[in-house]
């Protein structure tokens, strides 16, 4: 029988929730600030702000996104990967490979 669950649904079913849930409010607050920064950048371009000023804000927004990414990665390692390691070597290997793919994407971006 084919398993229609995604890896995400499997993780939630196995471990009860995602690792970031304990800090969900903090992540949402940060993401809303980033959303505001994005609107500010759009406004700066519309108002033909100085290039360097726009680039400075892009850099700040990039750092904010990096902070969210690193926090989520830490939560994933401490919750999902540790939980999988307690489950089995195979589950641990799968979660570590998944984390490495995510880290590779972050480093390349």
What is the domain partition of the chain in residue ranges? 19-108
Number of neighbours of residue 38 by Cβ within 10 angstroms? 13
Distance CA 66, CA 109 (A): 10
13: closest CA among 87, 109, 100? 87
Residue 62 has a pLDDT of 94
CATH, domain 19-108, list 1.20.58.1000, 3.30.2230.10, 2.160.10.10, 3.40.1360.10: 1.20.58.1000
pLDDT for 42-56, tens place per residue? 999 999 999 999 999
73: tokens are 């990665």
Task: Assess whether pLDDT exceeds 90 at residue 15.
Answer: no
In angstroms, how far is the first alpha carbon of the chain from the final one? Answer: 38
pLDDT for 46-85, tens place per residue? 999 999 999 999 999 999 999 999 999 999 999 889 999 9
Number of H helices, E strands in the chain: 5, 0
Q: How confident is the model at residue 13 (pLDDT cuts 50, 70, 90)?
A: very low
The pLDDT of 19-34, averaged and rounded, is: 86
Q: How confident is the model at residue 11 (pLDDT cuts 50, 70, 90)?
A: very low
30: closest CA among 75, 1, 69? 69
């Amino acid at each position: 029988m084919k398993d229609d669950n995604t890896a995400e649904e499997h993780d939630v079913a196995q471990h009860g929730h995602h690792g970031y849930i304990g800090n969900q409010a903090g992540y949402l607050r940060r993401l809303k600030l980033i959303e505001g920064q994005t609107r500010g950048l759009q406004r700066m371009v519309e108002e033909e702000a100085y290039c360097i000023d726009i680039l400075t804000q892009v850099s700040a927004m990039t750092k904010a996104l990096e902070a969210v990414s690193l926090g989520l990665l830490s939560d994933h390692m401490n919750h999902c990967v540790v939980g999988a390691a307690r489950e089995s070597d195979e589950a641990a290997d799968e979660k570590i490979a998944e984390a490495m793919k995510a880290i590779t994407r972050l480093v390349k971006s």
